[in-house]
Amino acid sequence: MNPSVPGVDEIRSRAFPFPAKHFLSVTDLDPIQVGDLLALAEGFVALNRQKNKKLDLLKGRTLINLFFEASTRTQSSFELAGKRLGADVVNMSPRASSIVKGETLVDTAVTLNAMQPDILVVRHGSSGAASLLSQKVSCSVINAGDGQHEHPSQALLDALSMRRAFGHIDGLKVAICGDVLHSRVARSNVALLTLLGAHVRLVGPPTLMPAEVDRWGVEVHHDMKTGIAGVDVVMMLRLQLERMQGALVPSMREYFRFWGLDREKLARAAPGVRVMHPGPMNRGVEIDSDVADDLEVSLIQDQVEMGVAVRMAILASLAARLDNQ
Amino acid sequence: MSSRPILISNTRLVDPESGYDGRGALLVMDGRIAEVRKGEDAIEGPDGAQSIDARGAMLCPGLIDLRVKTGEPGAEPKETLKSAALAAAAGGVTSIVVQPDTDPVVDDPSVVDFILRRARDIGLVRVYAAGAATNGLAGEAMAEIGLMREAGCVYVTNADRPIMNSKVMRRVLAYAGGLGILVAHRPADPWLSAGAAATEGEFAGRMGLPPEPVAAETIMLERDLTLAGLTGARLMVDQISAAQPIERLATAKARGLNVIATASINHLTFNELDIGDYRTFCKLTPPLRAEDDRKALVEALIAGVVDIVVSAHAPAPPEEKRLPYDEAAPGSVGLQTLLPALLTLHHELRTPLTTLLRAVTLAPAEAIGVPAGRLKAGAPADLVICDIEAPILVDASRLISKSKNSAFDGRRLQGEIRTTLVDGRVVYDRQEGGGS
């Protein structure tokens, strides 16, 4: 056995009880707790690279993935995380079932709650949906994305990817580029990265920036060339293609010309810059394939790997809290 | 219908019309105020008169609420005319004007007639109807404004569906203005406010809520003011909510434009941060604004730039409110909390009672041309006795409205309604546990 891989008991001892019953927002955590969660996740990264990836920290627990919005990446990431920790995992896509028959979100949640799950992982297209659910059920709720509000596990996995690439987050210059207005990933990342001491810039056209975004404690740039000058990390956001119909930007080619990430623009960043993307990517819209596929600069594959580890850490920590009750 | 004379003694009499605020007593006979005695605690009346000792509580004209939604006809599980009337009586509101956005829409004299007939059968508070300005509230063809007025409607409005087409708006103003009918319009550019759930700003941005900029209100207000000037019609700005449009309104009024404006008690009390963790009871149209806007609104009310305060009573059952914020229906019930919330402003700001109460009594009475809203001999005996010092804790689940969506849920207010009279009859008495 690889000596760097922590044993079950060590992981169990690191899995501190999660500070809250639910994980709805990165603002639920303080920097110490984030550090603890990331350290725990590091253990799972090592574990996940072994042949036997299974632990029993969630043995007997039931996890329901309740995804009102389609998601391959996040849903399978939570599913694998749950299964590797020994939980029974059920995937629900209410889009295809009763929700269309007029049953409300709360009705669905109350129905599922009666089946006695331990953890409900929820994604919904409306901001605040996870918080609403958490008020109506007795199990723990993890926010896997609520509208344009938050996607806290994504921010944690991004932080883990950066920490592994640079060794630290404090002092890093991070440019988050693209459709900030509609992005829950951007909101969670701004909150977490500023909490951890990074300098955050938001870069994008004015029509894709929230009002008064300059009061978020970040630098705002509309010109990508100045926006990514000297940064250590460029985090690209997905431009939902349906936003184009809202005439928020004139055309895809104009968007790519000014805010798409290519070699030329990337050359303005700091030496050793790393590129991130929460996926799925629109190649040729917000990011050039040439950059996305360059393993020297791209952390995009790492992000996916870290996603499973971070979600295992969240689940293990929530389970430790449940076990203590 | 002649009822027993009533003597009300030991009151703090507040009459916005004369500006009087002091000791007083009052005699009610035949449904009207027979005599107002200022500066004295007692008054003599005929033998057999019923006597009410107010024990120092405030006596003022019953409130007139120009913006009330019910669910009747068409959505009775939300609120009926009767449940709204009961809530009004318990809130010291003696006249309500119901909005036309029902099913069917009140765009036809027969629907006005239906509502007024139902209200007469219920017989609690006075119920007036506002007619739709355009057929089906579609904002295209003018409704039968004149016939609806004949049937008893007191003003026309397009309720929560602003008239986008400026030509239609001009014609409504010109036509109604020519007939001497008041036109109310809520200033909101439908394109800028489409899909909005909160006011644009840092809070909405952080919460990921689709925003409406204040500019949506300002732009439409300026159009409406311009058209009111062009047509000479009398315009009532429905629920102004922010500092920028207030400034434009003040300028127009200073120039002598024939315009009055309302504000909802919600926007005078709350700001965007009251939404907190996505509290859908605070989802309103217009959305709750920034604190600076709320302060500007309160100042405008005190300065008389805003004339009238409404409850903007808008019942919504749990299936419309217990939803993610952007999917939830807007609106808050408010008939029972209007007066306590206004009195709470009085306690917080030390604003004279006559100033604040004018906006819910005399000013709306003048707007729709009714004789209530005054304490003087000959006026209808629509009265409220209220202990203005008593603290109350609003528990939405105990409100009389069929829908319990109160933005004031859990809020502490100061002011408790004791007795409400309409036409000289007691329609609510707290000791008796309400009119239900």
What's the complex ipTM? 0.88
B191 touches chain A (CB under 8 A): no
Cβ partners under 8 Å of residue B170, min gap 6 = B227, B230, B231
pLDDT at A243: 67
Q: Residue A105 and residue A124: Cα distance in Å, rounded?
A: 9
Question: Is the minimum CB–CB distance between B20 and chain A shorter than 8 Å?
Answer: no
Cα separations in angstroms, A260 against A155, A303, B176, B345, B387: 22, 20, 55, 53, 65
Higher pLDDT among residues A110 and A174, named by residue: A174
Q: Is A69 on the interface with B (CB under 8 A)?
A: no
Give the nearest chain A residue to B324 (CA atoms). Answer: A129
Which residues are CB-contacts of A100 (< 8 A; sequence separation ≥ 6)? none
Which tens digits make up the pLDDT trace of A18-37?
A: 999 999 999 999 999 999 99
Residue B46 contacts A where some CB pair is shorter than 8 Å? no
> Mind listing the pLDDT tens digit for each residue in A215-267?
999 999 999 999 999 999 999 999 877 666 668 888 888 999 999 999 999 99
The answer to whether A62 touches A88, Cβ cutoff 8 Å, is: yes
> How far, CA to CA in Å, does A50 sit from each of A47, A300, B227?
5, 21, 75
Inter-residue contact A129 to A104 (CB < 8 Å)? no
Of A105, A187, A216, the CB nearest to B208: A187
In this structure, are residues A202 and A236 in contact, taking their beta carbons and an 8 Å threshold? no
Say what the pLDDT of residue B2 is.
Answer: 54
Query: Rounded mean pLDDT of A152-160?
Result: 98
Confidence at residue B434, expressed as pLDDT on a 0 to 100 scale: 45
Smallest Cβ–Cβ distance between B206 and the set A106, A147, A187 belongs to: A187
Chain segment A86-137, per-residue pLDDT in tens: 999 999 887 655 555 556 788 888 888 999 999 999 999 999 999 999 999 9
> How many angstroms away from the CA of B210 is the closest CA of chain A?
9
**Nearest CB to B205 within list A105, A132, A212:** A212
**B326 in contact with A, Cβ within 8 Å:** yes
Low-confidence residues in chain B, pLDDT < 50: 1, 434-436
**What is the phi/psi pair of residue B17, to 5°?**
-65, -50
Band of the pLDDT at A12, cuts 50, 70, 90?
Answer: confident
Instruction: Specify the 3-state DSSP secondary structure of A264.
Output: helix
The nearest CA of chain A is from the CA of B25 a distance in Å of 51
Verdict on whether the full-model pTM lies above 0.95: no
DSSP B52-111: EE-TT-EEEEPEEEEEE---TTT-TTT--HHHHHHHHHHTTEEEEEE-S-SSS-S-SHHH
Tell me, yes or no, if B278 comes closer than 8 A to chain A by beta carbon.
yes
Q: What are phi and psi of B154, to 5 degrees?
A: -100, -20
Task: Answer yes or no: are the C-beta atoms of B71 and B102 closer than 8 Å.
Answer: yes
Alpha helix positions (H), B286-369: 291-303, 318-321, 338-349, 353-358, 362-368
Tokens (6 digits) for B347: 């306690």
| Distance separating alpha carbons of residues B145 and B155, to the nearest angstrom | 9
B213 touches chain A (CB under 8 A): yes
The confidence score (pLDDT) of residue A14 equals: 81
Give the number of other CB atoms < 10 A from CB of residue B119.
23
A124 contact residues in B (CB cutoff 8 A): 324
**pLDDT tens-digit readout, B242-280:** 999 999 999 999 999 999 999 999 999 999 999 999 999
pLDDT at A94: 75
CA B339 to CA B323: how far, in whole Å? 29
Q: Which residues pair with A65 in a beta bridge?
A: A91, A121
Q: So what's the pLDDT on residue B1?
A: 45
Torsion sign, CA atoms A96, A97, A98, A104: negative
CB contact (8 A) between residue B205 and residue A146: no
